[in-house]
Amino acid sequence: MADLERTESKKDDVYTSSAEADKMRTELEGHTTAFAGLTRFQAMRKFWRACLFCSITAFGVIMDGYQTSLPGSVLANAGFIKQFGTVVNPTTGAVSVNAQYISMWSGLAYMCQFIGNWAGGFISDKFGRTYTLYALTVVFTGGVITEIVARNYKDWLAAKMLMGLGQGLIQQGVLTYISEVAPTQLRGALMSTYGWSYALGQLFVAIALNTLNMTDPNNYLKAIYSEFVFLGLWIIALPFLPETPWYYARKEDEVKAKKVLGRIYKGVDGYDVDREYNAMLVEIQEEKQKSKSNSEVALKDIFMGPHVRRTFASVFALVMQNWSGSPIIFNYTTYFLQQAGLPKPFQASVIVYCILLFSLMVSFYGIERFGRRTLILSGGLACTVFNVAVAGLGFAHKSDATDSATLAFICLWVFMYAFGFAGTGWTCAAEIATPRLRAKTTAFAASTNAISGAIFNSVVPLMISAASRNWGVKTLFMFAILGGVGTVINFFLLPETKGRTFAEIDELYDLRIAPRKMKSHVTSIEESGLKNHQ
């Protein structure tokens, strides 16, 4: 009891020396988590309610994948082209959508995603993680309604901008939420469900448009109406999600924090709310010691001291998604396959997304078995090679064999992309940052990714369009170069966070251990045996 009183009396103190920090850690050793020694399987069985809340949140990403991918994939739909097409081929008389419109739609949507990332960070820190989830629901609802009433490129631009804003909010909100609710042993796997859930939404888009193309190709609005299915299910599930205990603990609201812990871990045998809450305080107190201030987190903090290395590690782990070629493969899947000359682009897109989902399921195992760093580096190297292969086929004579080879290499690219960093990049973006700066670091990484996406998605349609540059698949040469450069940068910048607690990651960066050597370094927590304390 005396120890607890000392803990409470010290929770607002500011410690300015490592000796004082060590003293604090010694006094609080009795309040470390009782479940650090659990295996992943044991943690999954014991903390099934926490996993359920994370899974409900991940369903919102399925909605995100469906609603943000459909506007890009519907570009090849006959009905959409009839409504929004303005370019007439003088030779064949065929009508197509102006590539400049497509470029503008995508570019401004990504800029709104950038805004959404930062708005999400502000809302999360100021009002709570769940408030960001409610905000994105309102934005997505407005986006769907705007798509339905859109009849010209300006209306469609407004819809795309709303969808981009919603995507920015969901990226920041979902990742932060899962990282603070998921058990440590399952944090990587649960956060990697972001990529799997988004891909599942994309697969549903491919199936919906393929079905529409075979049944009623001129009625693109049927696909738009289907968005209400996912939106409605999300609205029903949203009220069941509790606020994260970390948010309340950081606001020093002990009553609400313990109430949420009791809800998330209800029925867990041997779970002591007081002990687990004080285990959270250990990390929060150490954050205060490092920051030397109890003031609100400022943006500049993510660029101060060791945090600047963590910030850019988060950025380059995530930016590989764009640098590897995803803007051309996924954001315009059907359109790209159509421009590549494949005879059945809608069917091919279904194949692509089935492979994506399968690979993401494999990555759930790989992310905890091989580690985050290994997956991102191997994915970057493989995607670079396959980008060169697909782009090289752009110089080959058009034939059935060439089409088959192109699709085969695209499928291989998709497999390695998903296995390497589709979900891993988001996991690293949230894990590498210290908990105190997680919301703003994740927002900065996501918004930087959004800016690169805005650039690429403005340029890509103009490069692959037959009506302009007509680079087609040769556009992937550019991404081969970027992917190679990004892989080299990540080799020197990216740490291995598999199995590490946030306190351990803090220690590794404070000691200035080279990121590529962090995996083998023994932390003081491991030496003291606290990590295996049960």
Distance CA 458, CA 279 (A): 47
Cβ within 8 Å of residue 116, ≥6 positions away: 136, 139, 164, 165, 166, 167, 168, 169, 170, 171, 172, 450
CB-CB neighbours of 526 under 10 Å = 14
Give which of 528, 446, 505, 492 is closest to 188, Cα–Cα: 505
Range from 257-266, 426-435, 445-454 that averages highest in pLDDT: 257-266
Pick from 93-102, 126-135, 166-175, 227-236: least confident = 93-102
Cβ proximity of 220 and 233 under 8 Å: no
pLDDT in tens, 248-271: 988 888 899 899 888 888 877 777
Q: What is the pLDDT of residue 24?
A: 44
In the chain, the largest separation of any two C-alpha atoms, in whole Å, equals 87
Q: What is the pLDDT of residue 50?
A: 86
Q: How confident is the model at residue 491 (pLDDT cuts 50, 70, 90)?
A: very high
Cβ proximity of 104 and 458 under 8 Å: yes
Q: What is the pLDDT of residue 529?
A: 59
CB-CB neighbours of 491 under 10 Å = 15
Q: How far is CA 144 from CA 19, 167, 218, in A?
A: 57, 13, 19
Better-predicted residue by pLDDT, 366 or 466 = 366
Cβ proximity of 166 and 113 under 8 Å: no
Q: What is the pLDDT of residue 294?
A: 38
Q: What is the pLDDT of residue 34?
A: 61
Structure tokens at 168: 């920015």
CB-CB neighbours of 407 under 10 Å = 18
Q: What is the pLDDT of residue 32?
A: 58
Beta bridge partners of 96: 87
Q: What is the pLDDT of residue 490?
A: 94
Distance CA 426, CA 58 (A): 13
- Amino acid code (one letter) for 508: L
Domain positions in the chain are: 42-532
Pick from 15-29, 78-92, 225-239: least confident = 15-29
User: Is 80 exceeded by the pLDDT of residue 446?
Assistant: no
Distance CA 333, CA 348 (A): 9
pLDDT in tens, 398-407: 777 887 888 8
Residue 309: CA atoms inside 13 Å, Cβ hemisphere, count? Answer: 17
State the pairing for strand pair 87-88/95-96: antiparallel
Unique residue bearing structure tokens 């470029």 = 103
Pick from 10-14, 136-140, 441-445, 525-529: least confident = 10-14
Cβ within 8 Å of residue 344, ≥6 positions away: none
For residues 197-232, one letter each, b for 16 or more C-beta atoms within 10 angstroms of the residue's C-beta and e for the rest, the string is: bbbbbbbbbbebbbebbeeebeebbebbebbeebbe
Average pLDDT over residues 369-375: 89
pLDDT in tens, 172-206: 888 888 888 888 777 777 877 777 788 788 888 88
Range from 123-137, 204-218, 429-443 that averages highest in pLDDT: 123-137
Cβ within 8 Å of residue 373, ≥6 positions away: 490, 494, 495, 496, 515, 516, 519
Q: How confident is the model at residue 359 (pLDDT cuts 50, 70, 90)?
A: confident
CB-CB neighbours of 510 under 10 Å = 15
Cβ proximity of 301 and 295 under 8 Å: no
Mean of all residue pLDDT scores within the chain: 80
* Domain 42-532 bears CATH identifier 1.20.1250.20: yes
- Percent pLDDT > 90 in the chain is 21
| Local structure of residue 241 (DSSP, 8 states) | P
Q: What is the pLDDT of residue 224?
A: 92
User: Is 90 exceeded by the pLDDT of residue 272?
Assistant: no
For CA atoms 250, 255, 256, 257, give the dihedral sign: positive
| Local structure of residue 283 (DSSP, 8 states) | H
Q: What are phi and psi of 28, to 5 degrees?
A: -100, 5
Better-predicted residue by pLDDT, 53 or 271 = 53
Q: How confident is the model at residue 487 (pLDDT cuts 50, 70, 90)?
A: very high
Unique residue bearing structure tokens 């607690």 = 501
pTM over 0.75: no
Cβ within 8 Å of residue 437, ≥6 positions away: 297, 301, 302, 307
Q: How confident is the model at residue 15 (pLDDT cuts 50, 70, 90)?
A: very low
Residue 234: CA atoms inside 13 Å, Cβ hemisphere, count? Answer: 27
Q: How confident is the model at residue 6 (pLDDT cuts 50, 70, 90)?
A: very low
CB-CB neighbours of 125 under 10 Å = 20
